[in-house]
Structure 1
Amino acid sequence: MPKTQKSNEPNEDGEVVTMEKRTAEQDEMVRKQNTWYAYSQMRQALKTFDPKEHKQYERVFKMLDSYKEPELPSCALPMNAKHPDNKDYRALESFLFESVAPATTTLNKVWDINGKDMKECPDLLLTGPIHVDVRRISGEEVLKLAARYRTGGQNWIYDSSHVVAFPNSPALCGFREKKFFEENGFIEPESGKEHKRKRLPVAVFNAAEKGFDEKLLAQYVSSCSICVVENIGVARNIYDGVFSLESLLPNVGEETEVDTILQIPEDSESNNQKLYNNRVDEEPLVGWKMESVEKKCTFEEVVNSHKRSGAYSREACRRLLDEPYEVEYIVENLIKQLCAVQIKPTDDKYKVPPNALLSCFLTNMDLPPPVLQKIGPEIEKFPDCFKISSNSNLLKLVKGDLPGIKTPQIYGKVTGGKTGGHSENGGAASINYNAGKEAVIWYSINFEYVGAFEKLLMLRKHTFYTTRVWPSEAELAAEGIIVSKFVQNPGALVFVGPGTYHWVYTEGYTVNVSWNIMPKTMHQLAILAIFHDHSLLEPTPFWIPIESIIWEMAKEKMKLDLEAFMVVKNMLCRSLAHCKFEIDIAINRKLKIVDDIPKEVDEIEKVCQGEDCPAKALFNLFAIRKEKEGLNAYCVNCAAKTDTVYIVHNLTELSTLYDNFKEE
């Protein structure tokens, strides 16, 4: 993208860029985007008309169909298809296992001879070198070694200075997978742009076909990075109407505030940053950053905005069917109508052209109990491997709702709406069901490429968790990073595997419902541990209570295969040591520790509120502080001397659980 010039400063071609010229360029871009949006809106509306009742239907169809996304690669698979990586997830099984359960390393002893009392607890790291053999060491011995940290600061259990990394180089998995798809009938395009020919097709299963088998599906998704299950809504008799925004309105509440993203709509391959930066004296937007406007709205405002936009678009389409030769006037009038009813930004910090059309994307809407109760029966109709309530879902072990992860969220999607690139919190797997009437376009990068992708982000001065990006598919392909781009039709489900990075585009108004799951596999547990430690490098929320999960697994003496067992046992050992560190640091800091937890304290969210604190979900020790907004939790490092510190489990109890969690 050309660099934005300061006023009266020559650009690279020696041309002086004035405010007037910059505004004129932007006005032309806005005109094109507004026109594209109006045509796209009418393309959706055309589906509601009967071709037999309108003589000009075919003419109008051809006129509007050019605004549809082109066909995308996919590969329909038989139910008995076995993923090439069913015994080596993403060709990274060794990397994942050794990240969390490495061979024991000798401790490099650097003892503080002055015997200084430590006042800061080391981070809980679930990956990297470990100095004890978890198969032989008892819980009591772990606690004795961990106690040595209190005076001098030597961690005898694990390397608390380790810096975790995502997989560093692309593995062979992508090539194995491509061969697998070719063996199942996929033919790579011989023409077109190189990055489009390099796309990895997505696996597609049809739930409506005879022979659809839940167990075989579960076996496949346990190994794949991402896949689509078509017609799951029809096959399972799922009532999509229960997810519509209008049906949710009475239970959500008209005045309930929701998060929305206002965006200038565009096609899936565009990222016109210039549209949001109309001052020539500002720094240019660089790289893949995706611009948008965040706004709090009432739920009723969003519903009405979508309804009015749809009504105006349908009326414009009806007029086009009657008078196709008046298309320019009809489009111009529709743009004016859409502009009049759109939700506008109210914050002056956003530089959005006043004449630009904006779509209002309802994002990540947490649902109140009455809505969860209403949609619950429909959620239970999905195959067991996708259910929140499944015994194979480790998130079932988490107490409480964990909104947006353990409970479903609703997305009210719009024409040209975009969800920026991300992996799920903690690298968890996720389920996304399209309960609306328009298609959704997905991009995804397999986990084995995430390390190389992160390096590209850093080169562009972006961060993995906090920068909203719309990556360039062509640039990724040039770096050897294989991308999948595929369509999710109405009534289809997308399964996103552990660690998969993805970004999503919407062709029109639709509703998606999404939730997370955590399969009971070694690679999901290892990826969770890697994401936990990686998130310490960049201040970002880590909502999944990983310690609570592994200790519940130990409490239940959960049966696991050997590799999964070793991963969990290693995490338990590290966690047990960290629990001892926390208590000893609290004692060194003369903090008061109480084991009788009041109900109002027990019910609050146990995530450290310390600014830029790397501590995540707090497990066993937390300080409580009464502040203006209510009670807040803090880790032992952020605790003030006046805070009350609560302990959940005594160390003997945890030590016993650790000892009793054994190989079968």
Structure 2
Amino acid sequence: MKRNIPSSSCQHGNSSQASRPRSRSPNIFLEDNGIPLKQRARATRGRPKYVEESEDEHEDSGVFSPDVSGFPDLSKGVNALEPKEIYKNSTRWFAISCLKSVIEAGEGRNGNWEKWKFSKEVMEKLEELFKEVKEHNCHSFPVNLSEEMPSSDNYRGLDTVLFDSVNPSPQQTGTRRSYCRGETPKDMNFTGKLFMDIQKAKGKNIVEAAKQRIDTKYNTVYEGLDRENVKCLMDEKLADWDVVDREIRFFEDRGAKITPGYAPVPIFTMPDNSEETIEKIQKLAEISSVCLIRNICQVTGFDSSAFELKELTKIKPKYEFVSPRQVPQATWTNFDRTEVGDKSKQSSNKWDFIDVHQRLSMEEFEVYYENVRNVTRNGELESNPSADIELVLKNLEQRLHDASLPVSEEAAGFKVDPDATMIAFGSNIDLEQEDITKFKIQNENVQKLPEFLRPDARGDFTGYVHQYMNGINTPQVYVKLPGVRTVAHIEDGTLASVNLNLGPGNSVWYCTPLEFAGKLQKLVIEKCGKLTDKIFDLSFWPFEKDCLEAKIPIQKFLQEPGDLVYVGLGSYHWVQANDFTTQVSWNVAPPNFRQLAMLAISNDHYLVNGFKSQIPVEYIIWNMAQLKVTVEEKVGKLMKAMLCRSLAKCQYEFDFCQKHSLPIVSASESSIIYAVELCIKCKVVVFNLIPMDKIGETFCFGCAVK
């Protein structure tokens, strides 16, 4: 048993960081700042107005009022198709999307086809063809940096809920202790009732109270895990439902037209890389459930070419990653029939998402990726711009199908139908940090971004883990073909995330704000929870119409080349690429009380739902306490509440070991202790008292007893 003993007192700084001076940011609606905008600016009632980026025209929708009638594309209804029809539709969609992506690649936002020398007739046919893959109901709008967004001082109207969940007032009446079933120490929980005034208590008070538990079986410091209360991430009854309404009004007052049931997404354009501009954008981003930051590569000098697949393959050609193999299709369908002999029909609106995972090396994937692009580039249209479009498309469909990588029966678990086209996704490609020289240029480019957007920002909570966590505090690259999907998810620990689209194509994003997370989770269980009610055991692609009928607003938008998406804490999101494109992504954990509260809340939510988080919350708060990090007052109060719960748990684990005569030795006597230890069986993070067997393998108390 290895022990890393925490301090018996809970220390935290109580002074706020001095804020930097602010100045008025340039008016990004005006074209005199050197940034050409597609939106038309005009002044009305002294405030800037604009024409929205959404390509659909709708009447003013008023406040949030779902209306699922008359949806473009979705109004065609739900289709139940046999596998042959699925394969036919899938291959056609993929061919059209590849063709569209190649034609428009590198031609800017508006598209310029002049170099192809198409006849007018061919151009008209192509435009008609491309309507089949066109996205509808995308709502993102530019916002002046000097504007104040709705609920700017209260994240999604949830600040009080978040704070009180982790630091409730001490229980004054009724039961002031919690019965502990079983003797084996349980995993740490950070929410629920407190039976002591934690903010006034000293470390020795916590220890003395915690010592009673081993004999009485009662915890007199804090309540055990309330499973029902944290089963869903956020109870929608506690949310401020007016937030979405206020956001819609904010944009409609400035000329936006928003499809009923959808919520708007702000675009913040960086006119320069000045401290004042960065500070303003940081404030705006951190209060957004999701937002777009535009022009960031230009003003920071970020070199997108360093992240091209060929460059990454040169660095590490033998590097292997797990590639999801998926059926390419429109965002409004969700088919996955690929097994030989399966002739059953499948509905287009199902939520369950099934793909096949296959290990590929970088060089294998690059050959495949370039082959698909070249097949599309070298089509008949380039040599014969006046060719019959449908004939060209049919030939392209066959060539793209032939260019597919085979899917082994071992990887799929079944024999894949040879008529099915399954694309490969270059997903979660790690830019290794252990050997920084390998991806030196790539990591240097990440460092060009504003500090609050970097994975190693000063004060970022993950910086106190003291080890790399792939994709969390290190960058990962995603190389995409038309149709690849990232299913609906929240980030580990409900952290905020950064995703920079390096081009040349677009991705379609869907998001739902934090206050609707619980409502969405309940709908997911209803739609695809036949075998389990544990949300993290499910892989799902939400159907737009179903969400809106359930009064869950959708934030849908296009991420164009050079756009950085900042996903706010706790926002569910799912993404599909409709072009060839490359993205780089990681998490950020801004050191504010909202993020710390959500780390605590998500920790308990994960315990109930059987998800093993990579985020070691106890390590973070104890390392911060040991370093006496200066934090804002609310962060300090949350830290103390969390530290006191942790201290009580650590004392009980110590008493448990003494009662059962388990030897305890200092971690300093072992050379095999990592910065963060995980149970070898269940993968839960183990903190402070680390059960180990004779060969040095780590267990949690639950698995060690078993």
Alignment match of 2:188 (pick from 106, 113, 124): 124
Q: State the SS of the aligned residue for 1:261.
A: strand
Q: Separation in 2 of the partners of 1:531 and 1:91?
A: 18
Q: Separation in 2 of the partners of 1:430 and 1:23?
A: 36
The within-5 A match list for 1:64-463 is 64-66=129-131, 67-70=133-136, 72-106=138-172, 108=175, 119-163=183-227, 164-165=229-230, 166-169=233-236, 170-171=239-240, 172-189=242-259, 197-208=260-271, 213-252=277-316, 254-274=317-337, 279=342, 287-316=350-379, 318-319=381-382, 321-325=384-388, 327-346=389-408, 347=410, 349-350=413-414, 352-368=416-432, 369=435, 370-462=437-529, 463=534
Q: Separation in 2 of the partners of 1:336 and 1:313?
A: 11
What's 2:597 paired with? 526
Alignment match of 1:41 (pick from 91, 95, 98): 98
Relative distance call for 1:601 and 1:90 in structure 2 (3 A) is: same
Summarize deviations over 1:41-95 as a string: whole Å, max 9, x none. Answer: 1111213598444432552442553234346211100111222222211111111
What's 2:645 paired with? 574
Q: State the SS of the aligned residue for 1:322.
A: coil
Summarize deviations over 1:437-478 as a string: whole Å, max 9, x none. Answer: 110110000000011111112222434222111001111111
Q: State the SS of the aligned residue for 1:213.
A: helix
Relative distance call for 1:471 and 1:284 in structure 2 (3 A) is: closer
> Contact (CA 8 Å) 2:162, 2:597: kept in 1 or not?
yes
Q: Separation in 2 of the partners of 1:342 and 1:221?
A: 40
Summarize deviations over 1:100-154 as a string: whole Å, max 9, x none. Answer: 0001015736799xxx996400331101111111121110110111111112321
State the Cα distance separating 1:295 from its structure 2 match: 1.0
What's 2:553 paired with? 482
The within-5 A match list for 1:555-574 is 555-574=626-645
Matched, 1:590 2:686: no
Q: Separation in 2 of the partners of 1:109 and 1:391?
A: 40
Q: State the SS of the aligned residue for 1:135.
A: coil
Matched, 1:624 2:686: no
What's 2:6 paired with? none
1:173 is matched by which residue type in structure 2? Answer: V
Q: Separation in 2 of the partners of 1:355 and 1:452?
A: 39
Q: State the SS of the aligned residue for 1:133.
A: coil
CA RMSD of aligned residues (A): 2.8
Q: Separation in 1 of the partners of 2:305 and 2:670?
A: 39
Q: State the SS of the aligned residue for 2:698.
A: strand
Relative distance call for 1:591 and 1:421 in structure 2 (3 A) is: same
Q: Separation in 2 of the partners of 1:268 and 1:320?
A: 32
State the Cα distance separating 1:280 from its structure 2 match: 5.7
Relative distance call for 1:109 and 1:499 in structure 2 (3 A) is: closer
Q: State the SS of the aligned residue for 1:444.
A: strand
State the Cα distance separating 1:600 from its structure 2 match: 4.5
Q: Separation in 1 of the partners of 2:176 and 2:662?
A: 29
Q: Separation in 1 of the partners of 2:445 and 2:402?
A: 37
Q: Where does structure 2 lack aligned partners over 5 or more consecutive residues?
A: 1-78
Q: Separation in 2 of the partners of 1:177 and 1:399?
A: 39
Summarize deviations over 1:408-454 as a string: whole Å, max 9, x none. Answer: 11111111111000000010111111112110110000000011111
Q: Separation in 1 of the partners of 2:127 and 2:191?
A: 56
What's 2:89 paired with? 32
Q: State the SS of the aligned residue for 1:624.
A: coil
Q: Separation in 2 of the partners of 1:506 and 1:282?
A: 26
What's 1:62 paired with? 127
> Contact (CA 8 Å) 2:619, 2:676: kept in 1 or not?
no
> Contact (CA 8 Å) 1:125, 1:533: kept in 2 or not?
yes
TM-score by length of 1: 0.85
Relative distance call for 1:589 and 1:351 in structure 2 (3 A) is: farther
Summarize deviations over 1:583-636 as a string: whole Å, max 9, x none. Answer: 22223333222104466512375112334x7xx322212123477xxx542112
Q: Where does structure 1 lack aligned partners over 5 or more consecutive residues?
A: 1-21, 190-196, 642-664
1:221 is matched by which residue type in structure 2? Answer: A
1:27 is matched by which residue type in structure 2? Answer: K
Q: Separation in 1 of the partners of 2:273 and 2:461?
A: 31
2:394 is matched by which residue type in structure 1? Answer: E
Q: Separation in 2 of the partners of 1:236 and 1:438?
A: 21
Q: Separation in 2 of the partners of 1:57 and 1:595?
A: 78
State the Cα distance separating 1:381 from its structure 2 match: 1.3
